[in-house]
Structure 1
Amino acid sequence: MAHYHTYTKYHRPAPEHVQKAAAADAGTGSVSATAEQYDSEYICPVTVGNDQLNLDFDTGSSDLWVFSTITPSSESSGHNLYNPNSGSSEQGETWSITYGDGSGSSGVVYADTVVVGGATVTSQAVEAATSVSSTFTSGNSDGLLGLGYESGNTCTPSQCQTFFGNFQSSASSALFTADLQSSGGSYDFGYIDASKYSGSITYVPTLQQNPSYWDFTADSDANGNAIGYSIMDTGTSLWYLPSASVSGYYANVPSAQDSSSAGGYVFSCDESLPDFSVGIGGTTFTVPGAALNFQPLGDGSGDCFGGLQVDDGLPGSIFGDVFMKNFFVVFDLGNNQVGVASQS
Structure 2
Amino acid sequence: MRTIEVNQIINREKLSPLQWLVFILGFLVFFCDGLDTGIIGFIAPALLDDWGISKPQLAPVLSAALVGMSIGAIISGPLSDKFGRKGIIVTTTLLFSVFTILCGFASSTQELMIYRFITGVGLGAAMPNISTMVSEYMPVKRKAFLTGLAGCGFMLGISCGGVLSAYLLEGFGWSKVIILGGSIPLLLVIALLLALPESTQSLIARNRQDKALAILEKIQGHPFSEPVKLVLPQTETTNENPVKIVLGKYLWGSSMLWLCCFTSLLVFYLLTSWMPTILKTAGFSTQQFSLIAAIFPFGGVIGATIMGWYMDKVNPTTVIKYAYLIAFGLFLVAGVV
TM range (shorter): under 0.3
Which structure: larger Rg? 2
Query: TM-score, normalization: structure 1?
Result: 0.23
Which protein has the bigger helix share? 2
Which protein, 1 or 2, shows the higher relative CO under an 8 Å CA cutoff with sep ≥ 6? Answer: 2
Which protein has the bigger strand share? 1
Query: TM-score, normalization: structure 2?
Result: 0.24
